[in-house]
Structure 1
C-alpha cells in the first residue's frame, strides 16, 4: 500500500502544481487586454482492485480551458460596432458644427453687411465712396463662401484619408487572422493564447465594421464584414482597397479583392467607423456643399438680375456684379458620368431658375427601348421625365441639361448636381463703383387701361435690336389674344403686333412678366437715366427679406441657416446615440468580464486552496516514506 500512497501523493502534487500554475497565470494576466481566464479541470485516475474492494489511485488535470462565452462575445462585438459608429459620427459632426459656428457665421454676417451697403447706396446713389464700399462688401461675402467651401472640401479630404487608414489597418488584421487560423488548424483550436489574440483582433475589427464570426470544424474562424464580405476564410485573407470615385473622383469607393477578382462594397452595410465615415461624407458633407452652392447661385443670380433691371452711374444698363451663374468656372462639377456608360455623351447643366433649385442631386438615366430620359431625385426618389429638344433636356427643377457632344447609350447614367462648384466659383467681377445700377426705369400704366393687368420687369438688354436707350418704349397688350405691339417715344410702332406665350414678353431688350387680364392696356418704360435715381438700389436692399429660394419658401440667408441648423440637430442626435451605444457596450463588457475576466479575490482564494492541497499531498508522501522506513526496520 505504501507504493500506492506514493503514487497518489505524486499525482496530487502534480495536479495541485498545475492548478497553482493556472491560477498564477490568471493573476499575472489580470490586467492583460483581451485575456480570458483559464480553468484547470481535475479528474480521478482509474481505481485498482485489491481483494474485494476498489481503491483510488490519485488524480490528474484532464483539461485546461479558457472561460469563453460566444454569445457574450458576440454581444460585445455588436456593442463595439455601434459605439464606434456613434463616436465617429459625433466626432465628425461636432467638428463640422464648430466650422459652421466659427467660420460659417461670417457668411450670413457678410451677406447682411452687403445688403446694408446696398441700402447706403440707395441713400446716396452718387457717392463713389459708398459705392466702392458696397463692392468691397460683395467681395467679402464671395470670399466667405469661398472659404466655407474650402473648409468643406478639407473635411472631405480628411474623411477620405481616415477611410484609407482604416482599410489599411483592416488589411493588416486580415493577414494576422489568416496566420492565426493556420496555427489553430494545427492545434485544433486548443491554444488559449492564440485564441485570445484572435478574439482581440476580431474585437478591434468590430470597431471598423460589423463583424460576423463563423467557427469552422478545423478550429479556425471565418470572418465576414457587414454580413456580405468574406474577409477571412480559413488561412485565406481578402484585401480591402480604395478605388477612384465614380462618377466623382474625389469621392473614393471601397472594395474587396482576392486574386484578380474585385468586389465593390456598399458602405451603408458595413457599420462601425467605416460606415459612419461614408455616411458623414455622402449624407452630410456633400449635401452641405451643394446647399452652399445653392446660396452662391442665389446671390450671384439675384444681384446680376437686379443689375440688368437698372442703370449705372454712366447711364448704361447695369452689367453683372458677380460671375455669371452659367460661367464654366461656376458650372464645373455639375455632371458626373459613370465609368460603366457605353455611350460617349458629354453633358453640361444650365441653371434656368435659381429659385426652383433644391440644392439636391439627381440621377439621369436613358432607356433606349422607350427612348426616354428620366431624372431621379436621389434624396426623395421622385422620378421626373425629361423632354429632349434638339440637344437639350428640359424638365429639371430649375435647370436644363445640354448634350454637348457624343451620344447616349442604353442604360447610361449620369449624376447631376446643379449647384456643385458654385461656392468655389463665386467671384465679384465688377471693379468700377460706377457700375452699380442704382437707378431704375420708371414704369407707367396708361390712364385708359381697363382690367387688372400688371407687368413686372425682369431684365433689360441694351444690345438688343430696338432697345430705346435714353428714351422710352410703350407696350400695348391684349391678354385675351395674347398679343403685344411696341411703340417708341414718338408713338411709332417698332413692329407689327406679335403673339406671346405664357405670361412673359421678351422683345426689344425688355423682358417682363404679365399678370391679370384686360384688353388694349398700355405700359410705358421710361429708359432715361436721371441723377439721384435710386429706385433699383431700393429694390435690391429689399431682397434681404424676400423669399427667393426653394420655390419661394426661403430667403437667401435662410438657405445657409437651415443647413447650419440641420447640422446642429444631427450633432445633438449623434451625441444622444453615443450615450446610448456606450451604455449598451458597457453592459456587454461587464457581462464578458463577469464570465471571462480575472477576479483577483477569487484567484487569491484559489491560490490558497491549491497551496493547501499541494502541502497536503506532500504530507501524504512524507507519511508513505515513514511507513516504508518502519517496515524495513521491523524486518532487519
Structure 2
C-alpha cells in the first residue's frame, strides 16, 4: 500500500477550505450584534502502517467551535442589569429634577406673590383694587399647585406606560427563548446561530431584570428573573404583564402567568429597569405627591384659618379663600382598600391638624377583636389607634382621624392611608368677593389660668347692634364649662350676665356665634373684643407674616420649606443616581471588554488567519499537482 498523496492533498484542501469559510464568516459578521467568534478545529485522520512505519493520511475538520465563556457572559449580564437599573433611575430622577427646577418654581413664586399681596392689603386695607390683586394671586397659587400635580400625575402615567411596554417585551422574549430551546433540543446544541440568538435575547432580558440562567443538557436554557420568578423552563414560557393596582388602581401590580395560573411578583426583587421604575414610583413620585398635597393642605388651612380670625369689609367673620381641607375635592384618594379585605368598613380621612402632618403614607391593619395599628411606610414606626365609638372614628394618627362611615372591619383587613392625597389637584380659590378678605382682626384672649384643653374660634357675627355685643371697653368674658355644657358670661366690669346651657360645639349669644373644641372637661375663660373698623389691618398684617412662620411638620417648617425640601430631596437623589450610573457603567464596560476579547471578532487576527489558510489551501493544492506529476511520470514509464 503506497502513501496516497492525492487523498492527503484532498483532505488538506477541504480542511483549508473549511477554515477559510469559518474565517470569512467571522469577518462578515464583525458588526453582527450578539455574534460569537467561531473556530474550526482540525484533527489528523487515522495513520496507516507501511513498511513497519506509520504514515499520516491527511486531516479533517473535527468541529466548528463557538467561542463562549459562560462566566464572562454571566458577569456581562450582571453588569448589564446594574447599568440599566442605574441608567433608568438617573433618567427618571433627572427628568423630575428638571420639572421641579424649571416648571416647579412657579409654586414658590406664586406663594410668595400671595404673601406680598397680603402685605399690600395690610398697607391699604380698604382698597378694593388691591384686594382684587390678592385674590388673583390666590387663584394663581391654586392653579400652580394644580399644574404641578398634573405634571406629577403625568410622570406616573409615563412610568406606568414604560412598565407595561417592558413587561410586553419580556413576554415576547420568553416566548422566543422557549421556541429556540425547542429547536436546540432537536438539533442537539450544534446550531451556533440559534445559540447566538438565544444569548442575545438573554442579554436583552438582563436589561429589564436580573437574569439567572440554568443550562440544560440539550442546549436549552431555563431562565429565572430575580432569583425567584421562573420565566422559561425548557420550551415552556411564562407571560409577564401588569394588572390593576391594589389598593390604588393607578399603581399597577406585576404578575407572571402560565396557563391559568397567575403569580404576583415583587418588582423590587427583580433588579434592572423594572425595579428602577417601580422604585421610582414608590420611593420618589408617591412621596413627592404626598408632600405637594401637604403643601396644598397647608396653604388652604393657613389662609382659611387666618380668615376666621378676622373680619371682612362688611364686619362679618372672614370666609374661606381656598377650598376647605376636608372638602370632597381635596380628599380624593386618601384611603385605598386592599382587594383581600373581607370586611365592609367604609373609611374616610379627615385632617384635624395640618401642622402635625408628616408627608408620609401609612398602612392601617386591623386584628380582631379590636386592635388598630397604623404603620408609617417612610419610617416603619407603628402606632396604635384608639376607636372613639361615640364619634365613629379612629384617633391617634399624625394630624388626622379615620372615620368609619359605614360597615365593620374583619380580621386581617388592610387599608393604605394617604392623608395628603388629592389636595394639590383639588385646591381652588373659592372666594369671589374682594370685600371678603378679612383684613381686620377679632380679639379673643384666653385667660392665663386656662387648662389648655379648650379652644374657641369665631363662626359668624349676626347682629353688631345686639345688647352687650362686645367691643373695646365693653368686652364680654365667657367662662365655659365643657363638662357640664354650660357657660357664664361677664361684662367688662365683671358682672355676671347669667349662666346658660349650650349644645356643643357652638355657642350663640350677644349677636355672634363661636365654636368650642375641648379635649377634656374643664372650665376655661375667654374674653371677646369684636370691634371693627374698615381701616383695621391687624389680620392682614398677621397673614403677611405667615410667610416666615413655621406652621408645618410639627411647627418645624414654613410653607415654602415643604416644597423646597422636596425639591432638594429630588435633586440630591438625581446627583446620587449620576454617581451610581458612572460606577455601574465602568463595571459593565469591563465585563463587555472581557467578552469581546474572547468572543468578539478581531479583524487583524482574522485577516492573518485568512492569509494563513489561503497559503495552506495553496500548498495542499500544490501537493495535488505534485501527485499528478508523479502519477504521469510512472504512467509514461510503462508505455
* Closer/same/farther in 2, CA of residues 486 and 33 from structure 1, 3 Å limit: same
CA contact (8 A) 1:461 1:467 kept: no
Deviates more, 1:526-535 or 1:386-395: 526-535
Offset from partner CA, 1:564-587 (integer Å, 9 cap, x none): 010011111111111111111111
Going from structure 1 to structure 2, the CA distance change for 1:374 and 1:77 (only over 3 Å counts) comes to same
In structure 2, what is the equivalent of residue 129 of structure 1? 129
Corresponding residue of 1:254: 254
Change (3 A) 1:14 1:284: same
- 1:231, 1:111 → 2: CA distance? 51
SS in structure 2 of the partner of residue 462 of structure 1: strand
C-alpha separation between the residues in 1 aligned to 2:78 and 2:240? 21
Rounded Cα–Cα distance in structure 2 between residues aligned with 1:551 and 1:610: 81
Counterparts of 1:177-216 in structure 2 under 5 Å?
177-216=177-216
Paired position in structure 1 for 2:408: 407
CA distance change for structure 1 residues 86 and 328 in 2, over 3 Å: closer, same or farther?
same
Number of corresponding residues? 623
Q: Is residue 553 of structure 2 the alignment partner of residue 529 of structure 1? A: no
2:616 to 613, 617, 635: 613
Contact 1:81 1:206 in 2 (8 A): yes
The Cα shift of 1:615 comes to 1.0
Shift of 1:51: 2.7
CA distance in 2, matches of 1:27, 1:450: 93
| Deviation larger for 36-45 or 573-582 | 573-582
Q: Would the aligned equivalents of 1:455 and 1:512 in 2 still touch at CA under 8 Å? A: no
Cα deviations by residue, 1:23-52 (Å, 9 ceiling, x for unpaired): 111111111111100011111111111131
Deviation at 1:524, TM superposition (A): 2.8
Q: How far apart are the structure 1 equivalents of 2:443 and 2:173?
A: 75
In structure 2, relative to structure 1, the CA distance for the partners of 1:455 and 1:377 (3 Å cut) is closer
Segments of structure 1 that go 5 or more residues without pairing to the other structure are 500-504
Instruction: Tell me the distance in 1 between the aligned counterparts of 2:126 and 2:409.
Output: 54
CA distance in 1, matches of 2:175, 2:182: 11
* Matches of 1:535 and 1:456, distance apart in 2: 24
Q: 1:564 aligns with which of 567, 582, 605?
A: 567
Give the counterpart of 2:629 among 615, 623, 626.
Answer: 626
Which of 531, 540, 560 in structure 1 is aligned with 2:543?
A: 540
**Cα separation, partners in 2 of 1:364 and 1:478, compared to 1, 3 Å:** closer
Q: Is the 8 A contact 1:45 1:60 kept in 2?
A: yes
Measured in 1, the distance between the counterparts of 2:448 and 2:411 equals 55
Contact 2:362–2:416, Cα closer than 8 Å, also in 1: yes
Paired position in structure 2 for 1:584: 587
What is the CA-CA distance between 1:180 and the residue it aligns to?
0.5
Alignment of 1:273-288 (within 5 A): 273-288=273-288
Question: Superposition pairs for residues 214-233 of structure 1, below 5 Å?
Answer: 214-233=214-233
Q: Paired residue for 2:388?
A: 389
Secondary structure, counterpart of 1:461 in structure 2: strand
SS of match in other structure, 2:460: coil
The residue number in structure 1 matching 2:358 is: 358
Residue 469 of structure 1 contacts residue 528 of structure 1 at CA under 8 Å; is this kept in 2? no
Deviation per CA, 1:141-169: give whole Å up to 9, x if none. Answer: 00000000000001111111111111111
The 10-residue stretch of structure 1 (155-164 or 370-379) with the greater mean CA deviation from structure 2: 370-379
Task: Give the gaps of 5 or more residues in structure 2.
Answer: none
- Decide whether the 8 Å contact of 1:457 with 1:510 is kept in 2: no
- Give the CA deviation at 1:616: 1.0
What's 2:266 paired with?
266
- The one of 593, 596, 602 equivalent to 2:596 is 593
Q: Indicate whether 1:59 and 2:63 are aligned.
A: no
Deviation string for 1:373-396 (max 9, x for gaps)?
110001111110011112210010
Q: Distance in 2 between matches of 1:140 and 1:450?
A: 41
Instruction: Say whether the 8 Å CA contact 2:316–2:461 is kept in structure 1.
Output: no
State the 1:251 CA deviation: 0.8
Change in 2 beyond 3 A, CA 1:97/1:51: same
Would the aligned equivalents of 1:340 and 1:412 in 2 still touch at CA under 8 Å?
Answer: yes
| Whole-angstrom distance in 2 between the partners of 1:113 and 1:513 | 34
Written as runs of structure 1 = structure 2, the 5 A alignment for 1:482-497 is 485-488=488-491, 493=496, 496=499
Equivalent in the alignment of 1:549:
552
Aligned to 1:502: none
Shift, 1:631, TM fit: 1.4
The residue number in structure 1 matching 2:577 is 574
Rounded to whole Å, the distance in 2 between the matches of 1:559 and 1:450 is 33
CA separation in 2, counterparts of 1:221 and 1:410?
A: 45
Residue of structure 2 equivalent to 1:142: 142
The residue correspondences of 1:234-253 to structure 2 (distance < 5 A) are 234-253=234-253
- The whole-number CA distance in structure 2 between the counterparts of 1:139 and 1:118 is 13
C-alpha spacing 1:454/1:168, structure 2 compared with 1 (3 Å): closer
Asked whether the 8 Å contact 2:450–2:524 carries over to 1, the reply is no
How far residue 512 of structure 1 moved from its aligned partner, in angstroms, is 8.2
Counterparts of 1:197 and 1:542, CA distance in 2: 68
Cα-to-partner distance string for 1:177-221 (whole Å, 9 max, x where unaligned): 111001111112111111011111111111111111110112100
Instruction: For 1:65 and 1:401, locate their aligned partners in 2 and report how far apart those are by CA, in whole Å.
Output: 69
Q: Distance in 1 between matches of 2:497 and 2:158?
A: 61
Q: Is the 8 A contact 1:2 1:627 kept in 2?
A: no
Q: How far does the alpha carbon of each residue in 1:537-596 deviate from its partner, in whole angstroms, 9 at most, with x for none?
A: 111111100100000110000000000010011111111111111111111110000000
- Give the TM-score, by structure 2 length: 0.92
Q: Summarize deviations over 1:381-429 as a string: whole Å, max 9, x none.
A: 1110011112210010100001111111100000000000000110111
- 1-structure distance, mates of 2:50, 2:2: 14
Cα distance in 1 for residues equivalent to 2:628 and 2:214 = 55
Structure 1 pair 235–135 and aligned structure 2 pair: CA distance change class (3 A): same
CA distance in 2, matches of 1:469, 1:410: 55
With over 3 angstroms needed to count, the CA separation of the structure-2 counterparts of 1:229 and 1:463, relative to structure 1, is: farther
Q: Is the 8 A contact 1:2 1:624 kept in 2?
A: no
Contact preservation (8 Å) 1:362, 1:417: yes
Contact in 2 for aligned 1:305/1:458 (Cα 8 Å):
no
Cα offsets for 1:421-467 (capped at 9, x unmatched)? 0001101111001111111123569xxx9889999976212279999
